[in-house]
Amino acid sequence: MRNFHNKGWVRFPYDPKLADWVGHALPAARTSVTDPAYAEWLDCEGTWFIGVDALDNDPQGRVGQSGALSGQAMDFVTQQYGELPLHKGQVSVIYPGYPQPRRGEGDSSARYRLKRDAAHVDGLRPMGPDRRRRVDEPHAWILGIPLTEASADAAPMVLWEGSHKILRAAFERALEGHPRDALHQVDVTDIYQAARREVFDTCPRIELPAKPGEAYLLHRHCLHGVAPWGANASAGPDGRMIAYFRPECARGVAEWIETA
């Protein structure tokens, strides 16, 4: 845990408190996958349920009859970043055969998904026909909580260790000199893409499988993605299911870049 700010990630071992929370969250997550209200989130030709805001938790992470989301991972997050209200969690489910192209995805994007794990920094949403990027959602941190058992090669989280340092420096250059209240309007596309290429050339790629009761935390500027489903990978009928929380910085993009 001491190396979090150097590496840009940390994995937490099995925690009974978190395992108890998972026991309550899993039924709610299963319900969201089959809820017609979230049908649009099934993409990649049925191999990925994206599940944004699909977990019915409250701002403290209570879901079903669970208590607040707690344990060593949340203790660490609070120590590093303070307390933030939680949005409704993402229920990300990968199924055998991933990745297939997303709806409307061109050949180059599909190849990037396959060859580069769809590597990205969260919150940089592509806008318009040219897919220009701005810091649309300034997340404070990214916490992944596995909900189901799956083999290590069942499309695990992938990250590039140390990438947060390269990307933070790039974003700082892109945002420098702009008014603090207009940072969310700054086009960061070109600098982001150049920094991403540097990351691929210089940072080690790490696969990060985990089991229910474990968790992992990513720095908000860490480049990450999802590995393809392995040829011999296995999971239960629920697929490889992970809940993600990414609360936003209370003071917007200025905080996102200044306190990283």
pLDDT average, residue stretch 211-239 = 98
pLDDT average, residue stretch 151-164 = 98
Contacts of 161 (CB under 8 A, 6+ apart): 7, 8, 9, 203, 204, 206
First to last CA, the chain: 16
CA distances for 207 relative to 29, 85, 153, 159, 246, angstroms: 24, 29, 9, 7, 20
Count the domains in the chain: 1
Residue 153 has pLDDT above 80, yes or no: yes
pTM of the model: 0.96
78 close to 141: Cβ distance less than 8 angstroms: no
175 close to 253: Cβ distance less than 8 angstroms: yes
With CA atoms as reference, report the closest residue to 248 among 86, 53, 74.
86
Q: What is the DSSP letter of 102?
A: P
What CATH number does the domain containing 106 carry? Answer: 2.60.120.620
Q: What percent of the chain has pLDDT over 70?
A: 99
Residue 66 has pLDDT above 70, yes or no: yes
Do strands 132-135 and 124-127 pair parallel, antiparallel, or not at all (unpaired)?
Answer: antiparallel
Residue 120 has pLDDT above 80, yes or no: yes
Residue 2 has pLDDT above 80, yes or no: no
Range of the domain at 87: 4-258
pLDDT average, residue stretch 11-22 = 98
Residue 1 has pLDDT above 70, yes or no: no
Q: What percent of the chain has pLDDT over 90?
A: 95
Per-residue HEC secondary structure of 17-38 comes to HHHHHHHHHHHHHHHHHHCHHH
With CA atoms as reference, report the closest residue to 124 among 219, 200, 199, 220.
220
Q: CA-CA distance, 85 to 250, in Å (whole number)?
A: 10
